[in-house]
Structure 1
Amino acid sequence: MLGLDHRLFMWVVDKCTLILTEGDSAKALAKLERLQEEELVEKPFQRKQMKIRFPEHGRSGRSVVTINNLEFGFGDKVLFNKANLTIERGEKLAIIGPNGCGKSTLPKLIMDLEKPRGGEVLLGEHNVLPNYFEQNQVEALHLNKTVLETVVEAAEDWRSDDIKGLLGRCNFKADMLDRKVSLLSGGEKARLAFCKFMLKPSSLLVLDEPTNHLDIPSKEMLEIVNRVVEVKDCNLQDYAGDYNYYLEKNLDARMRELEREAELEEKAPKIKAKSKMSKAEKEALKKQKRQAFQQAKQKSKGTNNSKRWN
């Protein structure tokens, strides 16, 4: 749904409970189930609920991450040049930008897996416990171990019932616990890797491309954040608001968003959609969106011109 290729998310956690879910209310679901039993409607695809809880960790200090005049690159390629950023307790950031700009390098610098050429990257001094879910986390799983063995090995001082409860919250049923990792699907392996990630007490969560790992729609993840940082021109452009605020302030990003949505709508008729809209209605909707974008663009241009002459 986004023109940007990859996204990195960082949660500075105050209360370590995140619930990622998609679905209707209990009453609506009960009504739908009755209709399905009477074969009046087809059963749609429904994303299962995944409840995410992290162990108790205590409250961190206000300052969590401080980046001062960061300089970093690989060979002649410069990724960051005098970049600055501060992250405080309770913030939920989305780091966005095109491929190769340094989004996946930034968490490695925060986790001290890479060293800056200049400047500094500092973690807060009071109870900042970082937890990093990197891109290749799934590849680190041992294929010959079972689902249960994988989590038990990583758990410290966890009771058996608690481990099974964690696996259950990640949608692993009892009959899957003795299944070898090699027999799991890609999505199941990703959820198993995330189970291991959830075992560690944390106050700073850093997730590299979580939409790929957990099959959660990008737009749904972006609705969670309250701050957007764009990696651009070897620096960090800070937007002190949610993703909609970022789009309001960035015409290029709005254009990419609308182009991607139009592209998805063109592909939608190939898949059985929930909506009964005709092709003509969908084309009209796309036209309305494009007109709305052009109007917003002209309004923004007019505002900038008026400021220039005032």
Structure 2
Amino acid sequence: MLVGLNNVTFEFGARVIVEEATWHIHPGERIGLIGYNGTGKSTLLKVIVGQYTPSVGTVEKGRETTIGYLHQDLLSFDTNDSILEVALTAFERVKQLEKEIEELGIQLEKNSDDEKLLELYTDKLHELDVIGGYTVHHRTEEVLQGLGFANADLHRPYKEFSGGWRMRVLLAKMILQQPDVLLLDEPTNHLDLPSIEWLEKYLMHYQGSVVIVSHDKFFLNRMVNKIVELYQQRLHVYSGNYEYYETEKEMRVELQQRAYENQQDYIRQQERFIERFKAKASKAAAAQSAMKRLDKIDRIEQVEIERPNLRINFQVDKQPGKVLVDLKNVTKRFGDNTIIEKAVAEIERGDKIGLIGANGKGKSTVLRIVGGTEQHEGERVWGHNVQESFYAQHQLESLNLNNTILEEMLSCGSGKTELELRSLLGCFLFSGDDTDKKIRLLSGGEKARVALAKVIVSKANFLLLDEPTNHLDMNSVELLADALNKYEGSILFVSHDRFFISKTANKIWEIVDHEIKEFKGTYDEYVAWKERMAKQQQQSAKEQKAATATPELAKSPTQPATPVKNNNDNLDREQKKELQKLQRQFARLEEDIAKMNAEKSKQEQDMGNPDIYSNKQKFASLEADYKSIQQKLNTANKEYETLFEKIMEMEQQ
């Protein structure tokens, strides 16, 4: 056991968060901590790390156990250091050794014959090698790049980045520290799809235990082998992923309900027997015995799943024309950064479009361009009778913290009466006195529900939603997806929640090479198509590699070279030639990268040789070569990605 709760009860003011909870975290476990919004999942993590002390019971931790805890409060940290420097603070001992080695090196330049100094210098170099000091920069860069940072960003000051990007830096630092137990509170909230997929792969091979609070079903299904549910102040443990939990919980509820009904039948039988015979002298003793049996019986509680039920009912006031928005040759730049260039796109009545892709590609910018709140070059033509409503994360920040929930709803000018608004807020789980709560006292999920309620009250026929599922629990995400499926209007939404996208979108938009690429189909169909394209690309590369390996066949006068089959009948002859040229470059680049990786591995192996450290010149030369090969690899990998995107774009034509 690494960490354990033993019979823990924790109260937050007058409210009980958890009661008589026992939970032990063992090595190698990947646990999903789930529960409805407001049940206290984040609070429970704070109890585990010792920020809160339980009212009853104990929290036990192994003497050597280390815990990493990623949470929203970390965003108060600020510094002028680069993000690379911030992430490298994960390696305190390495940083200390590097400083000591540098100082010893300066001393050795002055006293090169000092054997004790040379011995100490060699010892420090050896220790640096043993703890993997020569690879920390590479590992840190790899993790930061995996989480979506470009090479150019690594040396930018941490304070220049927004909250979401800062959270990624702190996540990088935490996973580089490799604690025995990693506690992650909503880690996917600030990640785009490529970064979530990278994090999944990374955590799959993580040596320690991981506890994840998340509303992302896809993420939990891939990541966890145990679910701990905080429900009705109790912890319920399920051995399996989220899908298993859903099935198992249903079975448990069904069995308990059946046992309850059987017991109720028995109780009614006994009560009828007692009522009938208690007055008869001959049966009085039997009736008395039956009463005693009923008094002693351990009563089974009826199972009623308390599930918050968002009763979302979108209303549409007017029917729009066939085309809601038409983008014609739209260009948007921020300084040297081009988001889209001469982009063309159209949104038709009934479209429910998921706008996806990596952060920094401009998804939210495109959403604002469509909504008319972002200046741009080119035309944005608005359709007939279009009434839009915009939901974005910044709206949570723009809520008036001093307003009550009801006052906030009254201020949005919907024209609805106080009674009508109270009824609507009841659908969003704000009932009775809840509507008189101040906005500043609400959790992230509760603020998100208020902002969503403001969108719904508008009766718009076109919704623009920027990350609408952030801060919502899984049940609320499902209910929102169901409501949007029934919604008669059109939607353009940005989301990284794959479950939500797959349930809601009937079209996918992706920003590729500064253009808006449209895929007419669901998210699942889009993923399947991407996988087919990737396989086809790999096959083409293999065929091209085979062709270049046997040039004599290609040059044979009796047998003309067969072009690589690429299944692109829509390409003209020149385009096909260009595609084949790109495929040949791609194959050569693959070979170069493989050679460079082999060379880099050999250099890393050489760095593990203690003899190298005794010769300062050899060591300096090896270090310079290692940095050089890293730079070449970074450049080659960038070129590889660019070529891959170009080939895929041509194959889609």
Q: Is TM (by shorter chain) over 0.5?
A: yes
Q: In the alignment, residue 325 of structure 2 is paired with which amino acid?
A: V
Partner of residue 525 from structure 2, selected from 223, 235, 245 = 245
Residue aligning to 2:436 = 178
Which shifted more, 223-232 or 149-158? 149-158
1:61–1:308 Cα change, 3 Å: closer
In the TM superposition, residue 56 of structure 1 has moved relative to its aligned partner by 3.6
Contact 2:257 2:303 in 1 (8 A): no
Q: In the alignment, residue 170 of structure 1 is paired with which amino acid?
A: F
Residue aligning to 1:104 = 364
CA distance in 1, matches of 2:343, 2:536: 32
Alpha-carbon displacement from aligned partner over 1:189-210 (angstroms, at most 9, x marks no partner)? 1111111122212111000111
Matched, 1:116 2:376: yes
The alignment's TM-score, normalised by the length of structure 1, stands at 0.68
In the TM superposition, residue 113 of structure 1 has moved relative to its aligned partner by 1.5
Alpha-carbon displacement from aligned partner over 1:141-196 (angstroms, at most 9, x marks no partner)? 11122112211222433123321111011111213111111111111011111111
Q: Which has the higher strand share?
A: 1
The alignment's TM-score, normalised by the length of structure 2, stands at 0.34
Contact 1:36 1:43 in 2 (8 A): no
Partner of residue 407 from structure 2, selected from 143, 149, 159 = 149
1:299–1:141 Cα change, 3 Å: closer
State the secondary structure of the residue aligned to 1:211: coil
The share of aligned pairs that are identical, in percent, is: 31
Pairs within 5 Å for 1:156-167: 156-167=414-425
Residue aligning to 1:220 = 499
Matched, 1:88 2:348: yes
1:140–1:61 Cα change, 3 Å: same
CA distance in 2, matches of 1:114, 1:83: 15
In the alignment, structure 2 segments of 5+ residues that lack a partner are 1-187, 197-245, 261-298, 479-496, 544-563, 570-653
Q: In the alignment, residue 382 of structure 2 is paired with which amino acid?
A: L
1:209–1:252 Cα change, 3 Å: farther
CA distance in 2, matches of 1:139, 1:299: 44
In the TM superposition, residue 48 of structure 1 has moved relative to its aligned partner by 2.8
Alpha-carbon displacement from aligned partner over 1:98-123 (angstroms, at most 9, x marks no partner)? 11101000121122222213x21111
1:226–1:190 Cα change, 3 Å: same
In the TM superposition, residue 29 of structure 1 has moved relative to its aligned partner by 10
In the TM superposition, residue 300 of structure 1 has moved relative to its aligned partner by 8.4
1:4–1:307 Cα change, 3 Å: closer
1:175–1:252 Cα change, 3 Å: farther
Which of the two has higher C-alpha Rg?
2
Q: In the alignment, residue 257 of structure 2 is paired with which amino acid?
A: R
Contact 1:5 1:97 in 2 (8 A): no
Q: In the alignment, residue 522 of structure 2 is paired with which amino acid?
A: D
CA distance in 2, matches of 1:51, 1:94: 23
Figure out how many residues of one structure are paired with residues of the other and give that number: 246
CA RMSD of aligned residues (A): 3.6
Alpha-carbon displacement from aligned partner over 1:1-33 (angstroms, at most 9, x marks no partner)? 873459xxxxxxxxxxxxxxxx99xx9898467
Pairs within 5 Å for 1:189-200: 189-200=447-458
In the TM superposition, residue 251 of structure 1 has moved relative to its aligned partner by 2.5
In the TM superposition, residue 212 of structure 1 has moved relative to its aligned partner by 1.3
CA distance in 2, matches of 1:227, 1:309: 23
CA distance in 2, matches of 1:36, 1:98: 50
Matched, 1:3 2:262: no
Between 1 and 2, higher relative CO (CA 8 Å, sep ≥ 6) is seen in 1
Contact 1:247 1:253 in 2 (8 A): no
Q: In the alignment, residue 220 of structure 1 is paired with which amino acid?
A: F
Residue aligning to 1:34 = 257
CA distance in 2, matches of 1:29, 1:171: 26
CA distance in 1, matches of 2:309, 2:447: 17
Pairs within 5 Å for 1:289-304: 297=535, 301=539
Matched, 1:235 2:498: no
Contact 2:356 2:510 in 1 (8 A): yes
1:43–1:98 Cα change, 3 Å: farther
Contact 2:331 2:376 in 1 (8 A): yes
1:252–1:139 Cα change, 3 Å: farther
1:56–1:41 Cα change, 3 Å: closer
CA distance in 2, matches of 1:55, 1:93: 19
CA distance in 2, matches of 1:48, 1:184: 17
In the TM superposition, residue 55 of structure 1 has moved relative to its aligned partner by 3.9
CA distance in 2, matches of 1:231, 1:86: 14
CA distance in 2, matches of 1:36, 1:153: 51
Contact 2:345 2:516 in 1 (8 A): yes
CA distance in 2, matches of 1:143, 1:59: 35
1:156–1:131 Cα change, 3 Å: closer
CA distance in 1, matches of 2:418, 2:332: 45
Partner of residue 337 from structure 2, selected from 77, 84, 97 = 77
1:246–1:190 Cα change, 3 Å: same
Residue aligning to 1:137 = 395
